[in-house]
Amino acid sequence: QVQLVESGGGLVQAGGSLRLSCAEAGRADNVYAMGWYRQASGKEREFVEAISWNGGHTYYDNSVKGRFTISRDNDKNAAYLQMNNLKPEEKAVYYCAVEVGGRYYIQHLDRVHTWGKGTLVTVSS
């Protein structure tokens, strides 16, 4: 049983910042990375950013380049997402996820082993 708990969501004005945290209890086998996803109302869940557990390699969607930064703390089994210059259209429930290993061509979303319950981020204009 692996559990992920997100925190840090809330209400912020456009251009503001938030820092999301993800704490993991338990550990899945063959963990490759920790990732962050988001799902806006009426839209599909989408990949935001991820970081590999061992090498610290980062992956991100181009829409957040230069604004979002993912980090990890292996000792604490935690992952973080620093979000700067938030935009109103980025209002969504943000989910932490454990991604397992696989071939390089497997997309991040298809690697997800466990989802957190999500934390709501609201960006006002």
DSSP the chain: --EEEEE--EEEETT--EEEEEEEES--TTEEEEEEEEE-TTS--EEEEEEETTT--EEE-GGGTTTEEEEEEGGGTEEEEEE-S--GGG-EEEEEEEEE---TTS-GGGGEEEE---EEEEEE-
Cα 5 from Cα 116, distance rounded (Å): 6
How would residue 17 be classed by pLDDT, with cut points 50, 70 and 90?
A: very high
pLDDT for 92: 98
How would residue 96 be classed by pLDDT, with cut points 50, 70 and 90?
A: very high
pLDDT of 102 higher than 80: no
Query: Which residue(s) pair with 81 in the sheet?
Result: 20, 70
* pLDDT, greater one: 104 or 94: 94
Query: Which residue(s) pair with 23 in the sheet?
Result: 5, 78
pLDDT of 3 higher than 80: yes
For residues 51-74, average pLDDT: 94
Q: Token pair of 93, please?
A: 């429930």
pLDDT of 56 higher than 80: yes
Give the pairing of strands 46-52 and 31-39.
Answer: antiparallel
pLDDT for 106: 86
Q: What percent of the chain has pLDDT over 90?
A: 81
Residue type, 72: R
For residues 6-17, average pLDDT: 98
